[in-house]
Amino acid sequence: MSSIQGTPVILKLDSPEATLERVGGKGASLGRMAAAGLPVPPGFHITTHAYRRFVSENRLEEAILSAAAHAGPDGPTTFEQASEQIQSLIAKCTIPEDVAALIVNSDQMQRGDILVAKVTTPAWTALFALAAGVVTDVGGPLSHSSIVAREYHIPAVLGTGVATERVRSGQHITVDGDAGTVRIVD
């Protein structure tokens, strides 16, 4: 667990502290699955405290609530459009430095690294701010990885099926999002 002034910011995926109140519904469910030994993507939780601080420091609350309020079957936007709008708002903001440092240290990712994962979810969004590119085993043009990579203007190659098997941590690779290629340099 990583914390700032005693308040948890990052929790291990299978942490017993990963409750609904601390990490949200999806995070708590993933935590229970990981603790039970079920296969889940590797990762960690960014707590609701850290999220609320991020929203507050970037003055996003009103914009997020407005986007959500206009979504619905009878609203001017669909839930998917509202979600994309909120993701776009979040992607343009700055993560508090102390929180960003804990995120980097929690998974050993450094600014300029290529993020290689089976799949990404909104919980991974903070890492896109550090990444120089993204490669995933699963995903396509409308996947989370694709949308967030476009927001951050970083190349992405998705749906490789084998990236996490072939690329080792610390290995140098190049990512050409236009050509859809990943090349292992060493």
Domains along the sequence of the chain with CATH: 108-186 (3.50.30.10)
Cα–Cα dist 82/85, whole Å: 5
Catalytic one among 45, 49, 144, 172?
Answer: 144
DSSP letter string, 34-61: HHTT----S-EEEPHHHHHHHHHHTT-H
Res. 127: pLDDT tops 90? no
Q: What is the pLDDT of residue 40?
A: 79
Does residue 178 have a pLDDT over 90?
A: yes
Q: Is 144 a catalytic residue?
A: yes
pLDDT band at 183 (very low <50, low <70, confident <90, very high): very high
Q: Taking the model in full, what pTM does it have?
A: 0.55
